[in-house]
């Protein structure tokens, strides 16, 4: 799913650019302004998929639990409860389709914002089409890097115990980020001129070196990893925050709600600082174009991130099917272990989506 979304988004954008190029020729500003509709379309779909899908997901989940556990006193995922089917479908609609469309919308908008700024900079005036397509090269390198990263999950590391599942998923994100840093260095060195000017809103154009853009992309890339790991720390049952929330239940539901809400407020401190640093560094180096490519850097490992995010809902559905089919309890134990690891790593994808959206919203000011 992750590879399909990244490859489809990149392919359709590249085809659209070449089709518009037939009409606009070398009028780059008009061409890429027309392409901005691609980002608007992606965001429109993301709105319905994320909001509508999320509402359906939670409504089906709560409805299935109410009618099953409270009213009829039957276990979870029991075949006698028809709402179980709606619950399983809801996981796919909200957590897979919704997350995919959300990340795609951010990817499309950041790509379009970077392309528009590039077209009115020295890339456009010198007709350097390769340099103008630098945002697409970032995403292309991300697909290659994520493809290499999957080998570490399938061939190089063998999982023998349940407690190795979650570290294996996180390891993919770390490896893809490290490899992507090297890949971006190569792309910047080969595709960009040594020095160029970037359009600066209301000011004189800013002179930028190729390594400035490398740092912009890299800071977005590593900010995404920091956000992901921080989110995972505050949502995993292997660490103290979740254990403390569970322990707070001893004194009642009110204490649990207060403690959980306070923990949620505290959990956003590090992600906010990471996003702020990424915005400051990228804007200082390459103004709004730097912010746009920083967002693309954060989304460059979208194939791996989305695969990790979809792991939880897929495992949850597998457990529901196993329960409804009356399979052995050993199978259910295994699917529950996979589901527990997947639900923790699913929070990583949500952090990426929100962080990249914050960068994209600022990048659009410069476009």
pLDDT along the chain (367 residues), means of 10: 88 92 86 89 85 84 80 76 82 82 87 87 74 91 91 74 78 90 94 85 81 94 91 85 90 90 92 94 91 91 86 82 81 80 75 83 79
Q: What is the pLDDT of residue 367?
A: 67
Smallest Cα–Cα separation from 119: which of 316, 1, 248, 292?
292
Q: What is the pTM of this model?
A: 0.88
**Burial letters 167-206, b for 16+ CB under 10 A, else e:** eebbbbbbbbbebbbebbeebbeebbeeebebbbeeeeeb
Q: What is the pLDDT of residue 226?
A: 92
CA dihedral 260, 304, 116, 15 (to 10 degrees): -140
Helix (H) or strand (E) segment spanning residue 195:
strand 195-198
Q: What is the pLDDT of residue 124?
A: 64
Smallest Cα–Cα separation from 349: which of 96, 135, 114?
96
> Distance of alpha carbon 122 from its chain centroid, rounded?
31
CA 27, CA 17: separation in Å to the nearest integer? 12
Look at the block and give the residue holding tokens 């050993």.
330
Q: What is the pLDDT of residue 223?
A: 94
CA 365, CA 281: separation in Å to the nearest integer? 17
């Amino acid at each position: 799913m992750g590879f399909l979304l990244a490859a489809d988004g990149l392919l359709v954008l590249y085809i659209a650019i070449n089709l518009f190029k037939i009409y606009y020729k070398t009028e780059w500003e008009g061409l890429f302004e027309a392409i901005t509709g691609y980002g608007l379309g992606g965001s429109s779909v993301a709105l319905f998929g994320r909001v509508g899908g999320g509402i359906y997901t939670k409504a089906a989940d709560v409805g299935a639990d109410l009618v099953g556990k409270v009213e009829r006193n039957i276990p979870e995922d029991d075949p006698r409860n028809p709402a179980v089917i709606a619950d399983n479908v809801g996981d796919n609609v909200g957590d897979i389709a919704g997350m995919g469309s959300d990340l795609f919308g951010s990817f499309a908008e950041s790509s379009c914002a970077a392309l528009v700024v590039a077209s009115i900079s020295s890339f456009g005036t010198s007709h350097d089409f390769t340099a103008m397509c630098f945002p697409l090269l970032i995403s292309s390198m991300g697909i290659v890097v994520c493809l290499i990263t999957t080998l570490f999950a399938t061939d190089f590391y063998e999982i023998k115990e349940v407690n190795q599942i979650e570290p294996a998923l996180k390891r993919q994100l770390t490896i893809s980020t490290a490899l992507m840093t090297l890949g971006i260095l190569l792309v910047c060195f080969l595709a960009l001129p040594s020095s160029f000017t970037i359009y600066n809103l209301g000011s004189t154009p800013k002179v930028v070196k190729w390594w400035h853009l490398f740092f912009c992309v890299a800071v977005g890339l590593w900010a995404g990893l920091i956000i992901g790991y921080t989110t995972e720390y505050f949502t995993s049952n292997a660490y103290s925050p979740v254990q403390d929330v569970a322990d707070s239940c001893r004194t009642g539901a009110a204490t649990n709600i207060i403690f959980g809400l306070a923990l949620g407020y505290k959990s956003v401190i590090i992600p906010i600082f990471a996003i702020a640093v990424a915005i400051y560094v990228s804007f200082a180096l390459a103004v709004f174009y730097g912010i746009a490519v920083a967002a693309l850097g954060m989304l460059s490992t979208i194939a791996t991130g989305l695969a990790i995010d979809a792991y939880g809902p897929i495992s949850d559905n597998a457990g529901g099917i196993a329960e409804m089919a009356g399979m052995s309890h050993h199978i259910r134990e295994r699917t529950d272990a996979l589901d527990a690891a997947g639900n923790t790593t699913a929070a990583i994808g949500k952090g990426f989506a929100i962080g990249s959206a914050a960068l994209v919203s600022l990048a659009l000011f410069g476009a």
